[in-house]
């Protein structure tokens, strides 16, 4: 349901293969928590996905206007990167790589070329660096984040790899999300009451719980919210299906692994 069609968003993301980088400003969030206003999606998302503030969505690619007449041979290859090519050229020169509009599907190792998805993963890694968030925390309170240019090839590809891992986790596309670290051992009605965390267990009601939940996952913030808590609170008095139970366990893996990878990112000197 929407208030009115958002042509710019629908044109580039609805039933289109694309990625949307979501960015918010700290001043739009509640509380004094560290900046965490970034997310990724492959579908249009609610403008208020961040707490008490809007999210600005940046599509990785732009598609031609579908309202115009198009011939039957037009394909997704006609999309163009939603990037400032002057900046892209400067980055390419700085790290001695050639930019290409599309990345080959079987290209899984660093090469002498980089594509829009690599830049997105690099940016996503930088924005998940605790050191970056701490260094620029005053600026992040008042404006959008500014991402430093990659200083060399090695650093670039390291951050691309780690950023790509977080992206796949947040889209629940990573194989890691299938490797549940939690258990849901007690039968019951599966109705969500007042969720609470105690000694590695997340209780959804008085008797049923998810076990082996890391505290870091329970308290992890994204967009001013704690997803492991909010997901359950949004389902109060609802009966969790088997699919819901599996989905929640994927969320716990994604949050736990994100915290681990963020620590790996901080080992790398970004700028």
pTM, two decimals, is 0.88
Q: How many Å apart are CA 156 and CA 158, to the nearest integer?
A: 6
Q: What pLDDT shows up at residue 8?
A: 62
pLDDT band at 66 (very low <50, low <70, confident <90, very high): low
Residue count of the chain? 271
Tell how strand 61-62 and strand 38-41 pair up. unpaired
Tell how strand 80-81 and strand 61-62 pair up. antiparallel
Q: What is the pLDDT of residues 23-56, one digit of tens each?
A: 987 665 556 678 898 999 998 777 667 765 677 8
Q: CA dist 175 to 20, 212, 220, 250, Å?
A: 21, 19, 21, 10
Q: What pLDDT shows up at residue 53?
A: 60
Q: What pLDDT shows up at residue 27?
A: 60
- Residue 78: both structure tokens together: 């006609």
- DSSP secondary structure string for all residues of 15-60: TS---EEEE--GGGSSSSPPP--EEEESS---TT-BTTB--EEEES
| Rounded percentage of the chain residues whose pLDDT exceeds 90 | 66
DSSP state of 235: T
Residue 235 clears pLDDT 50, i.e. is over it: yes
Residue with tokens 């999210």: 55
The dihedral sign for the CA sequence 126, 131, 229, 242: positive
Question: Which of 86-95, 124-133, 166-175, 220-229 bottoms out in mean pLDDT, i.e. has the lowest?
Answer: 220-229
47 vs 165, residue with greater confidence: 165
E-state strands within the chain: 20-23, 38-41, 56-59, 61-62, 80-81, 98-99, 113-114, 196-198, 201-203, 209-210
Q: What share of the chain is helix, strand, coil (3-state, %, to 5)?
A: 40, 15, 50
Residue 133 clears pLDDT 80, i.e. is over it: yes
Residue 253 clears pLDDT 80, i.e. is over it: yes
- Residue 205: both structure tokens together: 């009601």
pLDDT band at 74 (very low <50, low <70, confident <90, very high): very low
Element (DSSP H or E) covering residue 171: none
Question: 209: number of CA atoms within 13 Å, CB side?
Answer: 14
Q: What mean pLDDT is predicted for residues 180-197?
A: 96
Q: How many Å apart are CA 52 and CA 28, to the nearest integer?
A: 6
Q: What mean pLDDT is predicted for residues 90-112?
A: 84
Residue 68 clears pLDDT 60, i.e. is over it: no
Closest C-alpha to 252, from 220, 205, 209: 220
């Amino acid at each position: 349901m929407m208030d009115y069609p958002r042509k710019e968003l629908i044109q580039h993301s609805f039933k289109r293969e694309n990625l949307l980088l979501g960015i918010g400003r700290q001043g739009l969030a509640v509380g004094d928590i560290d900046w965490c206003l970034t997310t990724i999606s492959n579908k249009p998302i609610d403008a208020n996905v961040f707490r008490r503030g809007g999210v600005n969505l940046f599509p990785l690619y732009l598609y031609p206007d579908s309202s115009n007449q198009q011939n039957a041979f037009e394909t997704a290859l006609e999309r163009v990167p939603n990037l400032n090519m002057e900046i892209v050229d400067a980055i390419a020169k700085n790290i001695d790589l050639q930019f290409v509009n599309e990345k080959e599907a079987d290209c899984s190792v660093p090469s002498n070329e980089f594509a829009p998805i690599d830049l997105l993963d690099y940016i996503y890694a930088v924005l998940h660096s605790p050191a970056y968030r701490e260094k620029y925390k005053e600026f992040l309170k008042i404006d959008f984040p500014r991402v430093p240019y990659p200083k060399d090839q090695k650093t670039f590809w390291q951050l691309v790899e780690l950023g790509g891992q977080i992206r796949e986790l947040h889209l629940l596309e990573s194989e890691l999300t299938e490797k549940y670290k939690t258990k849901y051992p007690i039968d019951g009605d599966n109705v969500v009451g007042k969720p609470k965390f105690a000694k590695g267990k997340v209780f959804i009601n008085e008797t049923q719980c998810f076990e082996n939940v890391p505290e870091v996952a329970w308290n992890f913030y994204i967009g001013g919210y704690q997803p492991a808590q909010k997901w359950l609170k949004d389902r109060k008095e609802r009966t969790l299906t088997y699919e819901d139970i599996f989905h929640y366990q994927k969320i716990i893996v994604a949050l736990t692994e994100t915290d681990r990878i963020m620590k790996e990112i901080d080992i790398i000197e970004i700028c």
